[in-house]
Structure 1
Amino acid sequence: MTLSENDIRAVRARAQLLDAPAADVLAVTRSVAAIQAQSSPAARLAVRVRSRGLTTSDVDASRAVARTWLMRKTLHLVPAADLRWLNRLFGPRNAQAGQGRRRQLDLTDELCEQALNHLQDLLPGKALTRQEILDGLAGNGIALDAKSQAPAHLLAYAANRGLLCRGPDDGTEPTYVLLYEWITEDDTPDDPHGELARRYLTAYGIATAEDFGAWSGLPLGVCRKAFDALELTPTSNGFALRETDLSASSCPPRLLGAFDTYLLGYRDRDLLLDPAEAKRVNSGGGMIAPTVLVDGRIAGVWYTKRTAKQTKVVIEPFAALTRTAITGLESEVDDYGRFLGEPAVLVS
Structure 2
Amino acid sequence: MTTTGTTLTRRALNRATLARQFLLRRVDLPVTEVVTRLAGLQAQTTHTWYVGLQNRIEGFDPHAVGRMLTDGELVRVTLMRSTLHLVTPEDMAWLRATVQAVIDRDLTHSGHGRTTRELDLDAVVAVGRELLARRPLTPTDLGARLAERWPDVPDRDLAYVVRCRLPVVQVPPRGVWGASGPPALAPADTWTGRTLDARPDPATLITRYLAAFGPASVRDVQTWSGLTRLREVVDRLRDRLIVLRGEDGAELLDLPDAPRPDPDTPAPARFLYDFDNLLRGHADRSRVISAEDLRRICARNGMPPATVLVDGEVSAAWKVVRTRAATAVEVVPFRPLTSAETDEVTAEGLRLLRFLEPDRDGHEIRVLDTP
Q: Would you say same fold, with TM above 0.5? A: yes
Q: Which deviates more, 99-108 or 88-97?
A: 99-108
Alignment counterpart, residue 127 of structure 1, candidates 123, 126, 136: 136
Q: CA deviation at 1:169?
A: 3.7
Alignment counterpart, residue 13 of structure 1, candidates 9, 18, 32: 18
Q: Number of aligned residue pairs: give it.
A: 343
Q: CA deviation at 1:311?
A: 2.2
CA shift in 2, pair 1:5/1:283, >3 Å: same
How high is the sequence identity, in percent, across the aligned residues? Answer: 23
Amino acid at match of 2:190: E
Partner of 2:48: 42
In the alignment, the residues of structure 1 paired with residue 148 and residue 59 of structure 2 have an alpha-carbon distance, to the nearest angstrom, of 45
Alignment counterpart, residue 258 of structure 2, candidates 237, 244, 248: 244
Q: Which deviates more, 320-329 or 79-88?
A: 320-329
Q: Does 1:347 align with 2:351?
A: no
Q: Which deviates more, 87-96 or 198-207?
A: 87-96
Alignment counterpart, residue 265 of structure 1, candidates 273, 281, 287: 281
Amino acid at match of 2:48: A
TM-score by length of 1: 0.86
Q: Does 1:165 align with 2:169?
A: yes
Q: Does 1:296 align with 2:312?
A: yes
Amino acid at match of 1:246: R
In the alignment, the residues of structure 2 paired with residue 339 and residue 34 of structure 1 have an alpha-carbon distance, to the nearest angstrom, of 22
Amino acid at match of 2:254: A
**Which secondary structure state, in structure 2, belongs to the residue aligned with residue 99 of structure 1?**
helix
Q: CA deviation at 1:76?
A: 1.8
Q: Does 1:53 align with 2:63?
A: no
Q: Which deviates more, 331-340 or 306-315?
A: 331-340
Q: CA deviation at 1:127?
A: 2.9
CA shift in 2, pair 1:283/1:110, >3 Å: closer
Q: Does 1:228 align with 2:238?
A: yes
Q: Is the 8 A contact 1:36 1:75 kept in 2?
A: yes
Partner of 1:116: 125
Q: CA deviation at 1:18?
A: 0.6
In the alignment, the residues of structure 2 paired with residue 154 and residue 52 of structure 1 have an alpha-carbon distance, to the nearest angstrom, of 43
Q: Is the 8 A contact 1:306 1:312 kept in 2?
A: yes
Q: CA deviation at 1:13?
A: 0.6
Amino acid at match of 1:345: E
Q: CA deviation at 1:208?
A: 1.0
- Per-residue CA deviation, residues 107-139 of structure 1 (Å, 9 max, x unaligned), is 345364444333233222533333333454456
**Which secondary structure state, in structure 1, belongs to the residue aligned with residue 261 of structure 2?**
coil
Q: CA deviation at 1:201?
A: 0.7
CA shift in 2, pair 1:185/1:104, >3 Å: closer
- Superposed, 1:312-323 pairs within 5 Å as 312-323=328-339
Amino acid at match of 2:365: L
In the alignment, the residues of structure 1 paired with residue 246 and residue 32 of structure 2 have an alpha-carbon distance, to the nearest angstrom, of 31
Q: CA deviation at 1:156?
A: 4.5
Q: CA deviation at 1:212?
A: 0.9
Q: Is the 8 A contact 2:272 2:306 kept in 1?
A: yes
CA shift in 2, pair 1:190/1:143, >3 Å: closer
Amino acid at match of 1:230: R
Q: Is the 8 A contact 1:254 1:294 kept in 2?
A: yes
> RMSD value over aligned CA atoms?
2.9
- Per-residue CA deviation, residues 48-74 of structure 1 (Å, 9 max, x unaligned), is 211222244333332322222222222
Q: CA deviation at 1:81?
A: 0.7
CA shift in 2, pair 1:97/1:341, >3 Å: closer
CA shift in 2, pair 1:96/1:301, >3 Å: closer
**Which secondary structure state, in structure 2, belongs to the residue aligned with residue 276 of structure 1?**
helix
Alignment counterpart, residue 39 of structure 2, candidates 15, 21, 33: 33
Gaps of 5+ in 2: 1-5, 175-179
CA shift in 2, pair 1:156/1:230, >3 Å: farther
Alignment counterpart, residue 86 of structure 1, candidates 79, 84, 95: 95
Partner of 1:338: 354
Amino acid at match of 1:27: E
Alignment counterpart, residue 292 of structure 2, candidates 276, 288, 297: 276
CA shift in 2, pair 1:155/1:138, >3 Å: closer
Q: Is the 8 A contact 1:206 1:235 kept in 2?
A: no
CA shift in 2, pair 1:138/1:309, >3 Å: farther
In the alignment, the residues of structure 2 paired with residue 181 and residue 25 of structure 1 have an alpha-carbon distance, to the nearest angstrom, of 23
CA shift in 2, pair 1:6/1:198, >3 Å: same
- Per-residue CA deviation, residues 66-91 of structure 1 (Å, 9 max, x unaligned), is 22222222222222211121111122
In the alignment, the residues of structure 2 paired with residue 244 and residue 98 of structure 1 have an alpha-carbon distance, to the nearest angstrom, of 36
